[in-house]
């Protein structure tokens, strides 16, 4: 668990990021988060390929934790859609961000460590690139499991690093060079996180570190090139998992 001060610093960083994104959207400098739609479509195809088509036929209950202003759940077919984020009051107060939201989604303020939802209610829980932002990873994983039905599914993604990148990033994080990410993961640590908190991975997909490194090295931004030189380039770990039965 990180300290309250460290987590608050991370939340300030996160709010600043979305404030800048909202400004860019309002001025037409960037598109309106089509990434969320694309990720939802990818998830639908993936669940169907795993024999979990009943989760995407419109009758499921879905919760997304750490959804940001819109969330993947905003474009996911479900009978009930709930999106939870500690910064929701800010998102709700920003007209540019609120305009992008689906009226069919119930947006709620809450932390991953204390989800404002019933136990055993949801067929699918989504935590998209958020687990490294939380204050207490263990508590967040327990809450995700609590929210799911016994035969529900968890979709978890997180940007990972090599073992070298893990060590370097942890040092940088403690110095608050990367204020927004209190935690860092390697693929093995992310897989172990699932196992240790009672989840069985049905499928794990892993991006390419080499591709991420080359993209950072050739990027125009100095920050990205520094990530390549330091060996902290990120590549995506994603998993679909189900709760294991309690012993």
Q: What are phi and psi of 3, to 5 degrees?
A: -70, 155
CA distance 219 to 225: 6
pLDDT value at residue 157: 97
62-94 per-residue burial string, b: 16 or more CB within 10 A, e: under 16:
bbbbbbbbbbbbbbbebeebbbbbbbbebbeeb
Instruction: Starting at the earlier edge strand, list the strands of the sheet with 235-243.
Output: 105-109, 80-85, 61-65, 122-128, 148-160, 235-243, 199-206
CA distance 31 to 236: 22
User: pTM for this structure?
Assistant: 0.93
What tokens appear for 165 in the block?
Answer: 């990148």
Give the helix/strand (H/E) hosting 89.
helix 88-93
Q: Which residue, 18, 20, 11, is CA-closest to 176?
A: 11
Number of Cβ within 10 Å of residue 209's Cβ equals 17
Q: How far is CA 51 from CA 107, 133, 179, 220, 240, in A?
A: 29, 31, 39, 42, 12
CATH of span 4-167+180-209+237-243: 3.40.50.150
What tokens appear for 98 in the block?
Answer: 């609120």
pLDDT value at residue 177: 62
Q: In a structure prediction context, what are the per-residue pLDDT tens digits for the chain, which is 247 residues long?
A: 778 887 787 888 889 888 998 898 888 877 767 889 999 999 999 999 999 999 998 889 999 999 999 999 999 999 999 999 999 999 999 999 999 999 999 999 999 999 999 999 999 999 999 999 999 999 999 999 999 999 999 999 999 999 999 999 888 776 566 667 788 999 999 999 999 999 999 999 999 999 999 999 999 999 899 999 999 999 999 999 999 974 3
pLDDT value at residue 7: 79
CA distance 74 to 102: 6
Beta bridge partners of 215: none
Domain boundaries in the chain?
4-167+180-209+237-243
CA distance 38 to 169: 29
Q: Which residue, 84, 85, 72, 64, is CA-closest to 17?
A: 85
């Amino acid at each position: 668990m990180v300290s309250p001060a460290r987590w608050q610093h991370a939340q300030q960083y996160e709010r600043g990021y979305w404030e800048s994104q909202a400004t860019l959207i309002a001025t037409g400098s960037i598109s309106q988060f089509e990434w969320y739609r694309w990720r939802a479509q990818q998830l639908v195809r993936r669940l169907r390929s795993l024999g979990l088509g009943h989760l995407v036929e419109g009758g499921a209950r879905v919760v997304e934790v750490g959804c940001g202003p819109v969330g993947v759940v905003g474009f996911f077919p479900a009978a009930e859609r709930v999106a939870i984020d500690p910064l929701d009051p800010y998102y709700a107060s920003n007209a540019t961000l609120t305009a992008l939201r689906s009226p069919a989604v119930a947006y709620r303020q809450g932390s991953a460590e204390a989800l404002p939802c019933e136990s055993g209610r949801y067929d699918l829980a989504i935590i998209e690139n958020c687990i490294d932002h939380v204050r207490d990873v263990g508590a967040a994983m327990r809450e995700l499991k609590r929210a799911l039905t016994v035969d529900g599914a968890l979709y978890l993604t997180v940007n990972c690093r090599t073992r070298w990148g893990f060590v370097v990033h942890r040092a940088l994080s403690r110095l608050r060079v990367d204020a927004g990410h209190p935690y860092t993961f390697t693929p093995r640590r992310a897989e172990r996180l699932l196992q240790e908190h009672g989840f069985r991975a049905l499928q794990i997909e892993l991006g390419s570190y080499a591709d991420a490194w080359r993209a950072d090295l050739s990027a125009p931004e100095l920050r990205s090139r520094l990530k390549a030189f330091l060996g902290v380039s990120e590549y995506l770990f994603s998993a679909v998992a189900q709760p294991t039965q309690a012993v």
